């Protein structure tokens, strides 16, 4: 049972890291620190978006529209942390 819990913890951590990397790359593009024509970063950003979009889409449907600010990644991070805590406490 313990190895399974550790695997879930690793998966949750990886998803949280992907969310943070997506956020940082988005900020770099938004503030013109890096040009969106940078093919490498754009590929990384699109790949992360393709991985996270199926997870974030249902959260975006539930949350109210806040304009330019997307709170769904924050909700996902909090949800994953809560789920990780629950799984570890049950074991």
Report pLDDT digits (tens) over 14-68: 999 999 999 999 989 989 999 989 999 999 999 999 999 999 999 999 999 888 8
pLDDT of residue 41: 93
Nearest Cα residue to 73 out of 26, 36, 33: 26
pLDDT of the residue at 2: 85
pLDDT of residue 70: 87
- Residue 69 is predicted with a pLDDT of 84
| C-alpha span between 91 and 89 (Å, rounded) | 5
The pLDDT-based confidence of 72 (bands split at 50, 70, 90) is very high
């Amino acid at each position: 049972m313990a190895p399974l819990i550790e695997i879930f913890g690793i998966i949750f951590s990886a998803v949280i890291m992907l969310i943070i990397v997506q956020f940082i790359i988005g900020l770099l593009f938004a503030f013109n620190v890096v040009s969106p024509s940078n093919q490498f970063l754009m590929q990384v950003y699109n790949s992360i978006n393709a991985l996270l979009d199926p997870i974030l889409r249902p959260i975006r449907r539930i949350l109210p529209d806040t304009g330019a600010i997307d709170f769904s990644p924050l909700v996902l991070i909090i949800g994953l942390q809560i789920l990780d805590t629950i799984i570890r406490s049950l074991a």
